[in-house]
């Protein structure tokens, strides 16, 4: 949701956002369906190359990859022990299976490959350009509206959460493992839901008063240039090659 990466001056930043959305979608579909380790490693390398081409700062890249890999870390605590297959080694009475390790490895590579491509292509595009590109690609208006409003009001909700949190601290609230703490956080979440609902109604009424009829308008017009066509064809060719490598395994 933060647009630091969209303010750069890289080659990827200047490409047409419609082509980037198509490439990311097809790449993610292929990586999600692939199972061959060589294909997944090639996809991971391709994602790294795209990040280098987008000139993404290492600090920002790590900051965006940490939440995904923290979730994957939990999978590594369970999958090797619960996935059936040939035991690789034993940790006490628990068997670590070869299939479980391979399955967790594939999930790790898939997740990071898709995230790298998203960071390189989608995060390097301004949010509003991305929304209008989605609209021109024929994505339903309701989804585009949700995309715009989510980006706009998630910051508003966060500021409201921050204000409630500070008011709790001023009143001497200290989180502990007890019923009072759980009830306090439940009340805070309830207040956020109520305030979000009220703000949503006010925004909806304000838009109706201003004559909003569900149409999206943009001052900028998209146009596919020669460099956009070459880039999209090149990326689609690489995606097709990865798909052929995966398909040849199954024949």
pLDDT (tens digit per residue) in 17-27: 888 888 989 99
Residue 100 neighbours by CB under 8 Å, 6+ apart: 79, 80, 81, 82, 83, 84, 85
Beta strands (DSSP E) in the chain are: 87-91, 94-97
Across residues 164-189, what is the average pLDDT? 88
**Average pLDDT over the chain, rounded to an integer:** 83
Higher pLDDT, 136 or 237: 237
pLDDT of residue 26: 92
Q: Which of 76-80, 89-93, 164-168 has the lowest mean pLDDT?
A: 89-93
Beta strands (DSSP E) in 47-123 are: 87-91, 94-97
On the question of pLDDT at 203 being above 60, the answer is: yes
On the question of pLDDT at 38 being above 80, the answer is: yes
Residue 8 neighbours by CB under 8 Å, 6+ apart: 54, 55, 124
Q: Alpha carbon of 148 to those of 28, 56, 140, 197: distances in Å?
A: 22, 24, 13, 17
pLDDT of residue 121: 82
On the question of pLDDT at 4 being above 60, the answer is: no
Cβ(15)–Cβ(229) below 8 Å: no
pLDDT of residue 3: 57
pLDDT (tens digit per residue) in 98-156: 788 888 888 999 999 999 988 888 777 777 788 888 888 888 888 888 888 888 788 88
pLDDT of residue 204: 83
pLDDT of residue 197: 87
Across residues 53-69, what is the average pLDDT? 84
On the question of pLDDT at 5 being above 80, the answer is: no
Q: Which among 219, 244, 235 has a CA at the least distance from the CA of 26?
A: 235
pLDDT of residue 6: 53
Residue 103 neighbours by CB under 8 Å, 6+ apart: 79, 83
Which tokens sit at 123?
């995060």
On the question of pLDDT at 1 being above 60, the answer is: no
On the question of pLDDT at 195 being above 70, the answer is: yes
pLDDT of residue 9: 65
Separation of alpha carbons 40 and 242, rounded Å:
9
pLDDT of residue 52: 85
pLDDT of residue 95: 77
pLDDT of residue 15: 82
């Amino acid at each position: 949701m933060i647009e630091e990466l969209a303010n750069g001056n890289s080659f990827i930043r200047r490409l047409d956002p419609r082509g980037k959305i198509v490439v990311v979608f097809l790449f993610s579909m292929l990586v999600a369906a692939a199972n061959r380790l060589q294909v997944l490693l090639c996809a991971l390398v391709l994602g790294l190359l795209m990040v280098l081409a987008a000139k993404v700062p290492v600090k920002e890249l790590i900051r965006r990859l940490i939440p995904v890999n923290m979730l994957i870390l939990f999978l590594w605590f369970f999958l090797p022990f619960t996935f059936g297959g040939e035991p690789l080694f034993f940790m006490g009475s628990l068997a670590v299976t070869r299939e479980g390790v391979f399955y967790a490895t594939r999930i790790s590579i898939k997740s990071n490959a898709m995230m790298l491509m998203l960071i390189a292509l989608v995060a390097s595009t301004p949010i509003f350009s991305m929304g209008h590109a989605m609209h021109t690609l024929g994505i339903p208006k309701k989804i585009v509206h949700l995309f715009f409003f989510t980006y706009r009001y998630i910051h508003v909700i966060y500021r409201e959460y921050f204000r409630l949190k500070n008011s709790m601290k001023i009143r001497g609230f200290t989180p502990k493992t007890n019923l009072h703490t759980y009830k306090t956080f439940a009340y805070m979440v309830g207040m956020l839901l109520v305030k979000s609902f009220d703000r949503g109604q006010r925004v909806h009424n304000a838009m109706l008063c201003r004559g909003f009829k569900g149409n999206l308008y943009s001052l900028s017009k998209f146009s596919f240039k020669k460099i956009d066509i070459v880039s999209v064809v090149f990326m689609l060719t690489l995606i097709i090659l990865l798909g052929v490598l995966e398909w040849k395994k199954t024949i």
